[in-house]
Chain A
Amino acid sequence: MIETKNLQRSFKNGDVETRVLKGIDFTAGDGEFIAIMGRSGAGKSTFLYQMSLLDEPTGGEIKIDGHNTHTMSENERMKFRLNMFGYVFQDYALLPELTALENVALPLLMQNHPKKSAYAQAAAALEGAGLGSRLHNLPSQLSGGEQQRVSISRAIAHKPKILFADEPTANLDNESSRGIMEIFQGLHKHGQTIIMVTHEEEYAKLAGKIVQMDDGKIISEVKNRG
């Protein structure tokens, strides 16, 4: 489903060029749960941002469901992100002036769902994440774990093809982290494709495949047995 060929990303600061991704060939199939690991600066988040079309590579290509993303306009990339992807960020990335329900309903409304159905779908997603009683709370009224569950609900409410998660448990305590990972496992069981960047081996082991990165390259891809 996702295929990268010789994917490169470098950043320029004046005359200094830093190559963060140094030609990555990678494939993720439908329904896979992939954990990307590596030490800080290995390029794992940058790799995730390229695949999720939040950033543009400086070389190589990305194909998603056969679409070459290199030729897409910003508008097409935006539509792709809206309809095909879901995002879970390390710091939850919720909009502070929207309630949990509104945060989750927003992408659905942007997809032109009628308000009633968007809110119903959003409520169902939040109830599925155990937040049925917190629908009308603002992010500031929720704990970190609850906010991350709202973030996951927003990411999956519109049933994306791929769920991208960038260190989703980094800011959470153990109990909350385990709760988040249980949600991910549940989604994976129902066929959701998940690509997750994490530092934590304990949670990486819950994925079907662990991709190890170092110095802008993939150094290993290991399938988990469990």
Chain B
Amino acid sequence: MPLNIRIGFFLAFRALRRASLWTTGLIIGVMVLTFLNLVVVSGILVGLLQGAVDAVRTQYTSDVIISSLSDKKYIENSPNLISLIDTLPQVSVYTARYREAGVLEANYKTRKETDKPNTASAVLVGINPVSEQAVTGIAGSIVEGEFLSPGDYDKVVVGGYLLKQYFPVETPGFTTLENVRIGTKIRMTVGSVVREVTVKGILKSKVDEVSMRAYMVDSQFRSLIGRNDGNVDEIALKLSADATPESVRDALLARGVGERAKVQTYDDAQPKFLKDIIATFNMLGTAFSSIGLVVASITIFIVVFINAITRRKFIGILKGIGITGRAIEISYIFQSVFYALVGSGLGLALVYGFLVPFVAAHPIDFPFSDGILVAPLDSTFFRVGLLVFSTLIAGYIPARMIIRKNTLDSILGRN
């Protein structure tokens, strides 16, 4: 090891070992906070949307979603497609859905002739309750009443965004149902077919596609929409842990499924605006992090500068007895890097040992998503590298400034 580095380490190690615990604790505390600022602020910003993306994947699209082409009413030859899906070993479970636009109406029995009907436009969905639950766990979102059972007749589960008590928004052109509780009878209209059904459950989710829908058992829904050929509108596929959505999508497309349906991974199915917002939040996070990095660098600069100023006499003595300026600079660099590494180490332990699992278990309740903390290891270590590098520079510059001063002036405390 070069001599200057050895002497620099010798000096730094002893300076750190015998430094005031308070001072060391304070500097490391600043470094931990800086690290958290670097990782957590952007992590929460991205996690806010990642939570929404994850929720859409979990509760709606699952890993791969197959849906009807935009110019088709449904997925043609759905039974054949389902048979094909059955042969794919990567698919652990799937659910097929029927979907039609419709109108729900409430309070029609008490309405006067002059009153406006209390209606809400909705996406009406026919599902197999067992397979839907296996794929999306949708029953977990029930906030009132119960989820559907296979034998339910004229029962419906209504999404919270269709009910005024759960979504009290007064946007022109957007209406919700009032006074709808468990057991309330409502009218369901699809085309010219009207059916009176009973509300069995109300579900609430931050995923629009889930909360804007009304669900009934598929066998009944088929008769409501008059479709008995087995063709469905959506199929959500949940894959085994070792399968990638892209590989299954590509396998389906390779078998010609793309000609009669849209095959998308959960990522493909994200709206473009969401991807843009994620990119925007990433940029914002980087901007905030950069400010944090500058603040940390200035903090370390000030700390090292004050340290070097107050130790100017000793720096002079070191130079006087023949210790090279380079060795003294290296000792300050070692100290700065030590603070950055310990701060980052504690920050890493805090983030991965506590914050990430804690926020995953207790997501942050943002209005439109259950926010998680996104802290990918590669970008976190990149930020650790940035922090260490900027700290190194922030430690080097003030040390260099003091070391360059005249040796005797430093020893005698002259300006």
Contact = CB atoms under 8 A, between A and B. Distances in A.
Given A81-B322, A82-B322, A93-B317, A110 B14 contact: no
B327 interface: yes
A81 B320 contact: yes
A154 B408 contact: no
A124 B6 CA distance: 23
Contacts of B318: 95
Interface residues of A, number: 26
Given A78-B319, A97-B18, A112 B3 contact: yes
Contacts of A97: 14-15, 17-19
Nearest to A78: B322
Contact of A107 (B3, B6, B322, B406): B322
A96 B408 CA distance: 19
A106 B323 contact: yes
B324 A138 contact: no
A93 B6 CA distance: 22
B322 A109 contact: no
Nearest to B313: A93
B67 interface: no
A81 B6 CA distance: 20
Contacts of A87: 320-321
Contacts of B3: 110, 112
Contacts of B15: 97
Interface in A73-98: 75, 78-79, 81-83, 85, 87, 89, 93, 95-98
A83 B270 CA distance: 72
Given A89-B411, A93-B411, A106 B321 contact: yes
Interface in B323-364: 323-325, 327
A55 B321 contact: no
A93 B14 CA distance: 17
A37 B14 CA distance: 38
B208 to A, nearest CB: 62
A146 interface: no
Contacts of A102: 10, 14
Nearest to A49: B408
Given A96-B314, A102-B14, A109 B321 contact: no
Nearest to A84: B322
Contact of B327 (A54, A110, A111): A110
Contacts of B408: 49, 54-55
Contacts of B7: 106, 109-110
Given A97-B14, A138-B18, A110 B320 contact: no
A116 B3 CA distance: 15
A63 to B, nearest CB: 20
A78 B19 CA distance: 28
Contact of B321 (A75, A96, A107): A107
Nearest to B19: A97
B322 A95 contact: no
23 contacts: A49-B408, A54-B320, A54-B411, A78-B325, A81-B321, A82-B323, A83-B322, A85-B322, A93-B314, A95-B314, A95-B317, A95-B318, A97-B17, A97-B19, A98-B14, A106-B7, A106-B321, A106-B323, A107-B321, A109-B10, A110-B7, A112-B3, A138-B18
